[in-house]
Amino acid sequence: MPYIPHTPDEVRSMLDTIGAESIEALFDEIPAHLKADKLDKLPEGRPEMEVLAQMGERAARDGQPLCFLGAGAYDHHVPAAVWELATRGEFYTAYTPYQAEASQGTLQTIYEFQTMMSRLTGMEVSNASVYDGASGLAEAVLMALRANRKSKSRRVLVPDAVNPRYRAAVESITSNQGVEQELVPFCTEAGQTLTDSLKPYEGDDYAALVVPQPNFFGSIEEVDALTNWAHEQNMLVIALVNPTALALLTPPGEWGQQGADIVVGEGQPLGCPISSGGPYFGFMCCTRKLVRQMPGRIIAKAEDTEGRTGYTMTLQAREQHIRRSKATSNICTNQGLAMTAATIHMALLGPEGLTNTAAQSHSKLNQLLDKLTAIDGVEKAFTAPGFHEAVIRLPKPAQAVVDALSEQNILAGYPLSQSYHGQDDQLLICATEKRTEDEMDRFANALQEVLQ
Amino acid sequence: MSTNPLIFEHSRPGRRAAAQIPRAVDDNALADLPAHLRREGKPALPEVSEPEVVRHYTNTSAQNFAIDKQFYPLGSCTMKYNPRGANKAAMMPGFLARHPLAPERHSQGYMECMHELQDFLKEVTGMEDVSLAPMAGAQGEFSGVAMIRKYHEANGDDERSEILIPEAAHGTNPATAVMCGYKVREVPVGKDGDVDLDALKEAVGPQTAGLMMTNPSTCGVFERKIEEIAKTVHDAGGLLYYDGANLNAILGKVRPGDMGFDVIHMNLHKTFATPHGGGGPGAGPVGVSKRLQRYMPTPVVGQRDNGSFYWKDTDELPDSIGHLSAFMGNAGVLLRAYFYAMVLGREGMIRVGEYSTLAANYLSKRLQDVGCDAAYPSRRASHEFLLTFARQAKHNGVTAVDVAKRLLDYNQHAPTVYFPLLVPECFLIEPTETETKEALDRFVDAMENILKEAKDDPDLLHGAPYTQPLTRLDEVQAAKELDLAYKEEGAA
């Protein structure tokens, strides 16, 4: 019996203690006609060896193509120690730290994570993570609606240049509470959200403006101007940021005159493999003023009865297990293990490692752009600088190019036609520190062939 | 004073984990980044060596209780053994390297696993279809209630504004209903742990959108009148939501679909043995009846006639409640659950329900024999059961928390305390099917000793634990000071 330890003698002895004839007798409160039949459609169990062999074959079948695709999931190096440590049984098989004295490992790690994220984003407060960047943005929008006392609106301004998958998740998660996203167009030359595009909304009541950095096209936005504009309009600023980029770019806490109010983003680049989209984690930070509107777990430093330092869950009156229908969110479990990996990842990289990762990624994007735009008919679509992603224009539909390169085991990027109308010839490409000169040449050569 | 310094306290200027630092680029490479948008200085992450990081997090992890170290009978959390094979499977390079937006030709292996997992979950729960998209139980709940809402809206049934929830329910249930734009009405639970059917009959009406319930309930008993409850809600035009928190108890024995539930979520981090990871990541797939199929969250894995797999998205499911994450849920967790499903198979599924129920009833009986009070002594335990320390609180001034803290000194993780709220001074105890009889007996021995201590020396319990790195923490003071991030000494 896989993972069940009892011998037949033990089972008999346990039943005797209970005073039951058989295991089946323990189910005698369930109406007999409701009992399941034999579940004939389920396969028979198999030993670990066989299941691993089959899964290994399937994993290999997916081919590990050369990756120039980003669009929200980024192929960075993850130090070997990260998951060796994160999957230690003491982290891997513990649960929510309800018993603080027996959970200091998890609690201290979260406190370290909160500290790192506060420093990276320039914000005072971080929570212990939410599910991912997209659902994190939805939580941030709901939080902004609660927190903005100057606004009565259920509407938020969201640039069209925000990841369309994020906007879709925000719609799914918030629309039942009457939340509306008003789409702010982007400048089709610069590939940025200009303050000029915000003019039509001046004087209207919106709870918040989402400011992406960089935006979905990889373009770096003029975050100071956008932040100041929103604050002048009594809107809160929700910064949606790539954490790697923050090693080079102004942290949201310092944007404009007052800084962003809420910061969210996808934590995957900090130590999570791209692994089919999860588990990743969303990070979420805010100003101290807004901490009581924050969803999710928050850990605080505490003292024990002997005056020693420890860590404990705090402000639990925000949370569903205490506040039930009045909670800030229904979130319970978050992405603890991915957050643990990220904490270890950031400790290993340190200030210099994260900065060099960001700088290498940016530099390689520019190298890649040089190689690709040397091909006839290929050009940069936008004038704004990119961080580690950029949009190129192709002389053929991007989807067809992606399909063709996929046959050569290359993921060429994300065809914008999948999310935007009238941008069929545009391809979003990405480079990280992992991409080598040889790999970029391979991509450029293959692209040239496909375009001929 | 701290027993385990923070990683920041190991930091020394200029120290680094050199093997993890990519080569520097020359400054020209960053020249195109506008100066006014650049960060001043580098982020203040710790400056530590790789050996220090490994030692620090190894020592930090050691301060946790964990299933791999201790009996961990947290009620309604299903802390069973997490197979290492599942981790190995999910961490295969091919799975880790697969980009979520990779084209189909680079996704067939992964999608085949997911398609089989969908089929497996359908069969074991008796539902018409399954979506693996929700990233946690609470997101599964959200999906379920959002589907109920869509269903009523599609029928032009706009007056339904209320979700009914038994008072013993998890806090996520009412919080979810509110996130979906509903009001919550709580339904009382009777003295025997079953929902008060008369009260339910009074509560339902044209305003009822649905009922969310866990069965077996968080009182640790099987809801015997489930068919009448289903009929009552359905007759009023509402739908029935099954919170799968306690699915482990009935896995392979009774299927939610056969009990009349319209929509369910499963917690794969409970029932399918994926790790709890110190608080996630989980996975909360939803199962639906035929009438809710078109509203399922996307994407779902479909299979063509030629055998190939593809993502069914909102183009094929236009009435879907939509996407809940940037991609397609917690893939790595789903792969671990798939491994578990394949190793256990049909017979294994049936054994999960059987042996978790056996363990709970055995433990309940033994604990009552040594003087513990069961909250529902006349009932069979499901895979978990409730004890109450109301008697000890009254006579000895000893609370459930005192007993919980003292258990840590006996190297036993405490059960869930003070939940559900309707039973005073309670423990919700879930031993799971993977614990040996000796492990259960050791817990009984510990509890027997603690009950004796409670009588002889209540202060001993008030001061517990004594054997952990720390004694009890002052949560009130912590919330007042609200120190949420480390500051170096002398820092502003």
Q: What does the pLDDT look like over B389-430, one tens digit per residue?
A: 999 999 999 999 999 999 999 999 999 999 998 999 999 999
Q: Which phi and psi angles does A285 have, rounded to 5°?
A: -130, 160
Q: What does the pLDDT look like over B190-214, one tens digit per residue?
A: 999 999 999 999 999 999 999 999 9
Residues of A in contact with B471 (CB under 8 A): 101, 304-306, 308
A184 with A155, same domain: the answer is yes
- Structural domain range at position A430: 66-76+355-451
Q: Does a structural domain hold residue A28?
A: no
Residues of A in contact with B120 (CB under 8 A): 42-43
* Closest CB from A62, A97, A337 relative to B107: A62
CATH number at residue B440: 3.90.1150.10
Q: Does a structural domain hold residue A112?
A: yes
Q: Quick check: B362 and A385 CB within 8 A?
A: no
Give A189-213 as a DSSP string.
TTTB--GGGGGGGTTS--SEEEEEE
Q: How far apart are CA B84 and CA B391, in angstroms?
A: 42
User: CB-based contact (8 Å) between B414 and chain A?
Assistant: yes
Q: Does a structural domain hold residue B249?
A: yes
B188 with B296, same domain: the answer is yes
Name the residue of chain B whose CA is nearest to A312's CA.
B475
Q: For residue B2, is pLDDT > 70?
A: no
Per-residue pLDDT at B27: 84
Q: What does the pLDDT look like over B365-379, one tens digit per residue?
A: 999 999 999 999 999
Q: Which amino acid is at B91?
A: M
In the block, residue with structure tokens 């009996």: B71
From A295, A313, A344, the end of a domain falls on A344
Q: Does a structural domain hold residue A12?
A: no
Q: How far apart are CA B352 and CA B355, in angstroms?
A: 6
Q: How far apart are CA B10 and CA B233, in angstroms?
A: 60
Band (pLDDT 50/70/90 cuts) for residue B1 is low
Please count the CA atoms within 13 angstroms of the CA of B155 that sit on its side-chain side. 14
Q: Does a structural domain hold residue B35?
A: yes
Q: Quick check: A81 and B50 CB within 8 A?
A: yes
Q: For residue B143, is pLDDT > 60?
A: yes
From A344, A369, A398, the end of a domain falls on A344
Q: Does a structural domain hold residue A359?
A: yes
A71 with A84, same domain: the answer is no
Domains identified in chain A, total number: 2
B242 with B322, same domain: the answer is yes
User: Which B positions 126-185 lie with beta carbon below 8 A of chain A?
Assistant: 126, 135-139, 141-142, 146, 149, 170-172, 174-181, 184
**For chain B, what percent of residues have pLDDT higher than 90?**
96
Per-residue pLDDT at A25: 97
Q: What does the pLDDT look like over A272-317, one tens digit per residue?
A: 999 999 999 999 999 999 999 999 999 999 999 999 999 999 998 8
CATH number at residue A367: 3.90.1150.10
B407 with B377, same domain: the answer is yes
Report the gap between the CA of A203 and the closest CA in chain B (Å).
27
Q: How far apart are CA B120 and CA B133, in angstroms?
A: 16
Q: What does the pLDDT look like over B45-76, one tens digit per residue?
A: 999 999 999 999 999 999 999 999 999 999 99
Report the gap between the CA of B365 and the closest CA in chain A (Å).
6
Best probe of the A interface among B179, B251, B417, by most A CBs < 10 A, is B179
Q: Does a structural domain hold residue A135?
A: yes
A282 with A372, same domain: the answer is no
B358 with B293, same domain: the answer is no
In the block, residue with structure tokens 């996929």: A406
C-alpha to C-alpha distances, B74 to A14, A438, B337, nearest whole angstrom = 21, 53, 20
A270 with A152, same domain: the answer is yes
Best probe of the B interface among A85, A332, A419, by most B CBs < 10 A, is A332
Per-residue pLDDT at A333: 75
User: CB-based contact (8 Å) between B258 and chain A?
Assistant: yes
B231 with B296, same domain: the answer is yes
Handedness of CA B285, B289, B295, B301 (dihedral sign): positive
Q: What does the pLDDT look like over B242-255, one tens digit per residue?
A: 999 999 999 999 99
B265 with B392, same domain: the answer is no
Q: How far apart are CA A228 and CA B68, in angstroms?
A: 51
- CA dihedral angle for residue B342, residue B348, residue B350, residue B355, rounded to 10 degrees: -140
Q: Does a structural domain hold residue B180?
A: yes
Give B355-383 as a DSSP string.
HHHHHHHHHHHHHHHTTPEESSTTSPP-S
From A293, A316, A344, the end of a domain falls on A344
Report DSSP state, residue A26.
Answer: G
Q: Does a structural domain hold residue B80?
A: no
A312 with A418, same domain: the answer is no
User: CB-based contact (8 Å) between B72 and chain A?
Assistant: yes
Q: What does the pLDDT look like over B76-106, one tens digit per residue?
A: 999 999 999 999 999 999 999 999 999 999 9
Residues of B in contact with A131 (CB under 8 A): 135-136, 139, 281, 325
A402 with A447, same domain: the answer is yes
Q: Does a structural domain hold residue B270?
A: yes
Per-residue pLDDT at A170: 98
End-to-end CA, chain A: 60
Q: Does a structural domain hold residue A41?
A: no
CB B33 within 8 A of CB A385: yes
Q: What does the pLDDT look like over A328-348, one tens digit per residue?
A: 888 887 899 999 999 999 999
B14 with B136, same domain: the answer is no
Q: Does a structural domain hold residue B66?
A: no
A189 with A323, same domain: the answer is yes
Residues of B in contact with A173 (CB under 8 A): 142, 179, 324
From B343, B371, B405, the end of a domain falls on B343
ipTM field: 0.98
Q: What does the pLDDT look like over A98-145, one tens digit per residue?
A: 899 999 999 999 999 999 999 999 999 999 999 999 999 999 999 999
Burial of B180 (C-beta count, 10 Å sphere; 0-12/13-18/19+): buried
Q: What does the pLDDT look like over B420-466, one tens digit per residue?
A: 989 999 999 999 999 999 999 999 999 999 999 999 999 999 999 99
Q: Does a structural domain hold residue B483?
A: no
Q: What does the pLDDT look like over B219-242, one tens digit per residue?
A: 999 999 999 999 999 999 999 999
Residues of B in contact with A327 (CB under 8 A): 171, 175, 178
Per-residue pLDDT at A45: 98
End-to-end CA, chain B: 21
Per-residue pLDDT at A332: 81
CATH number at residue B130: 3.40.640.10
A326 with A200, same domain: the answer is yes
Q: For residue A38, is pLDDT > 90?
A: no
Our measurement of the distance from residue B451's CA atom to the centroid of its chain's CA atoms, rounded to an integer in Å, reads 30
- Structural domain range at position B394: 352-477
Report DSSP state, residue B254.
Answer: B
Our measurement of the distance from residue A100's CA atom to the centroid of its chain's CA atoms, rounded to an integer in Å, reads 27
* Closest CB from B46, B327, B349 relative to A42: B349
Per-residue pLDDT at A274: 97
B449 with B316, same domain: the answer is no
B447 with B465, same domain: the answer is yes
Q: For residue A318, is pLDDT > 90?
A: no
Per-residue pLDDT at B116: 98
Query: CB atoms < 10 A from the CB of A228, how many?
Result: 16
A359 with A258, same domain: the answer is no
Domains identified in chain B, total number: 3
B282 with B401, same domain: the answer is no
Burial of B374 (C-beta count, 10 Å sphere; 0-12/13-18/19+): middle
A260 with A320, same domain: the answer is yes
**For chain A, what percent of residues have pLDDT higher than 90?**
94
The helix/strand/coil state of A320 is helix
Best probe of the A interface among B53, B296, B489, by most A CBs < 10 A, is B53
Q: What does the pLDDT look like over B251-305, one tens digit per residue?
A: 999 999 999 999 999 999 999 999 999 999 999 999 999 999 999 999 999 999 9
A71 with A212, same domain: the answer is no
Segment A145-152 long-range contacts (CB within 8 Å, at least 24 positions apart):
A145/A177, A145/A179, A145/A207, A145/A208, A146/A293, A146/A328, A147/A236, A147/A261, A147/A262, A147/A290, A147/A293, A148/A207, A148/A208, A148/A234, A148/A235, A148/A236, A150/A234, A151/A205, A151/A206, A151/A207, A151/A234, A151/A235, A152/A205
Q: Does a structural domain hold residue A25?
A: no
Across the range A407-419, mean pLDDT stands at 97
User: CB-based contact (8 Å) between B260 and chain A?
Assistant: no
β-bridge pairing A426-430 and A389-393: antiparallel
B316 with B416, same domain: the answer is no
Exposure letters B183-195 (e unless 16+ CB within 10 A, then b): ebbbbebeeebbb
User: CB-based contact (8 Å) between B3 and chain A?
Assistant: yes
Band (pLDDT 50/70/90 cuts) for residue B492 is low
A399 with A296, same domain: the answer is no
Burial of A149 (C-beta count, 10 Å sphere; 0-12/13-18/19+): exposed
Name the residue of chain A whose CA is nearest to B466's CA.
A101
Per-residue pLDDT at A321: 83
Q: Does a structural domain hold residue B138?
A: yes
Q: Does a structural domain hold residue A37?
A: no
B56 with B105, same domain: the answer is no
Q: Which phi and psi angles does A328 have, rounded to 5°?
A: -70, -20
Across the range A167-194, mean pLDDT stands at 97
